[in-house]
Amino acid sequence: MEWSYRSAVELSAALRAGVVSSVELTEAAIARIERDDKAINAICVPDFERARAAARQADAARARGEDRPLLGIPMTVKESYNIAGLPTTWGMREFADYVPAEDAVQVARVKAAGAVVLGKTNVPVLLKDWQSFNDIYGTTGNPWDLDRTPGGSSGGSAAALAAGFGALSLGSDLAGSLRVPAHFCGIYAHKPSFGLVAARGMVPPGVPALPSEGDLAVVGPMARTARDLALLLDVMAGPDPLTHGVAYELALPPARHRRLRDFRVLVLDEHPLLPTGSAVRAAVTRVADALAADGARVERHSPLLPDLTEAATLYTRLMVSNIAAGFPAERYEQLRAAAATLDPADRGRDAEWLRASVFSHRDWIEANNRREQHRHAWRQLFAEFDAVVCPITPTPAFPHDHNPDPRRQHIDIDGTAHPYGDQMIWPGVATMPGLPATAVPAGRSPEGLPVGVQLIGPMFEDRTPLRLAELLEQRIGGFEAPGAR
């Protein structure tokens, strides 16, 4: 029997029934990787021998009567997570030989849940691209079209799932790094509410794995079905045992509704700062039509929606100031001198980036206070609606473009070139206020490429968009293997 594209839920049922062993699943996954990954290049750090040992241990545990959430399930992990004994480079050549001694907290959690880790998946340098390539491990191709990106920075994980290399994967997200690869590769991903999932050990090489929270970025699950996302999130969610976990226990509320017709949904396909390509607009419409056909309340406009233009500006300020805080002093002084020459009336994207890179603490507090006002506005909106459906990026997967100067990179939206960096605008709708967002497949482009949408839900009500994703999967279909049609 072919197991490569079975869901984790299906594999767990087969393992419990004794239809298959973890050793058999693991060997099948390894054989598929060895056969197909030479072309795709998703698995940059294989760990096959330890995976085989873990599979044997899983089968022995099941024989003793154990039954953990992921027991015996083969999966992959994004390269940026520390795994003891394997290199963590974040694509930086100077760290090619860096090997951490301790697992990231999420790696430890999936192992404790019984998962079999097949290896690590490829990323862009410093996780800063919607492509996945670096000088150490090379370029990862999209299984739907190897000449196109699988997305980034969790592109290797998305490509691995689309290619059948394991049932689950761990990713992360700051500017859409879970959701964009899911959209480009036709899989599912969930950006959790900010603060819901501990991220210790998902750090650049050489940086201490401390239980501290940065801003905006989260870690989260990737899978081929909505139910598998929920399964993996349940393993991942919860505070760090070194900090909040000392006193707090997780108690996520249930989804607001169980039936599609009970949902109240706001649908967006336009942003004031960026056009939406026709293929993505069609996918949003397909989801909206399916919701309406099943009796859900669907609205296209609401006065409760926070100002998307201001939200994008706040997102830029918060994200860039966070990144720039790690710049060397000399570079910071250069940026500060350049920012001093800006025209105060210049509110263009480049000017906002430059100002944000030299934010004072006072500036950051002001931006954060505005964010809290946006969060309050979202709470008011989610008293009226249960979820927001909107694009993830304006286009399907684009061809590889490794120009080292991002100012010379562009994204083609229905024949018109737009700045490459503008692809962060739609992911930022959920990221800036810290809302949960589930990426779901929503059809194909005219060229046959996957197209997805994101379902944004109320903060710390992650089960609501996940449940909506599961219902939509039943209604319009979900993952399809590349070349299935």
- CA dist 385 to 310, 379, 439, Å? 21, 10, 18
Residue tagged active-site, from 22, 80, 153, 321: 153
3-state secondary structure of 27: helix
Annotated catalytic, 153? Answer: yes
CB-based burial, 424-462: b 16+ in 10 Å, e otherwise? bbbbbbbbbbbbbbbbbbbbbbeeebbbbbbbbbbbbbb
Candidates 393, 377, 374, 395; CA nearest to 385 is 377
Contact between 167 and 74 under an 8 Å Cβ cutoff? The reply is yes
Q: Say if strands 168-173 and 74-78 run parallel, antiparallel, or are unpaired.
A: parallel
Candidates 481, 440, 470, 449; CA nearest to 182 is 440
Residue tagged active-site, from 12, 78, 191, 357: 78
Beta bridge partners of 145: 142
Rounded Cα gap, residues 291 and 318, in angstroms: 34
Candidates 236, 219, 8; CA nearest to 108 is 236
CB atoms within 10 A of CB 234: 16
Rounded Cα gap, residues 155 and 294, in angstroms: 34
Annotated catalytic, 38? Answer: no
Structure tokens at 324: 């720039």
Annotated catalytic, 302? Answer: no
Rounded Cα gap, residues 229 and 470, in angstroms: 10
Q: Which amino acid is at 171?
A: G
Structure tokens at 471: 């219902």
Contact between 18 and 25 under an 8 Å Cβ cutoff? The reply is no
Contact between 384 and 304 under an 8 Å Cβ cutoff? The reply is yes
Residue tagged active-site, from 169, 177, 193, 321: 177
- H-type helices in 163-307, by residue range? 179-185, 226-236, 278-293
Q: Which amino acid is at 39?
A: A
CB atoms within 10 A of CB 328: 8
Rounded Cα gap, residues 161 and 171, in angstroms: 12
Contact between 405 and 189 under an 8 Å Cβ cutoff? The reply is no
As annotated, the active-site residues are: 78, 153, 177
